[in-house]
Amino acid sequence: TQLLEQSPQFLSIQEGENLTVYCNSSSVFSSLQWYRQEPGEGPVLLVTVVTGGEVKKLKRLTFQFGDARKDSSLHITAAQPGDTGLYLCAGSSNSGYALNFGKGTSLLVTP
């Protein structure tokens, strides 16, 4: 199983602040996905990155895949209370059969 380390584990910030969460591994992934999970719900896909060095933007969220395809980051600009949730990164191997999830970053944005 390819391990994904996410940091920080917990993050509590105020509305309007910026933040970055990280997803790191010693393994190379063919692709990496970011999900957000709210309490009592299943994870919901935010983005998939495939190419090393790729940057994708989703409104105030910016996702980057490392050049070596071993790591990724998620940057949120001007966080809002609606951004609160558990952010999970998930990587798939060259076979692409299944997703291996990190432990997640629990984000709390207070008004």
Hey, which residues does 58 pair with through a beta bridge? 61
Taking the C-alpha atoms of residue 1 and residue 39, their distance in angstroms, rounded to an integer, is 26
Which member of 74, 104, 107, 109 binds other proteins (CB under 8 A)?
104
Nearer to other proteins, 45 or 68 (CB): 45
From the list 79, 69, 73, the residue with the least C-alpha distance to 109 is 79
**Interface characters, 41-80, with other proteins (x: CB under 8 A):** xxxxx--x-x------------------------------
Hey, which residues does 87 pair with through a beta bridge? 36, 105
Closest CB 55 distance from other proteins, rounded Å:
18
Nearer to other proteins, 6 or 72 (CB): 6
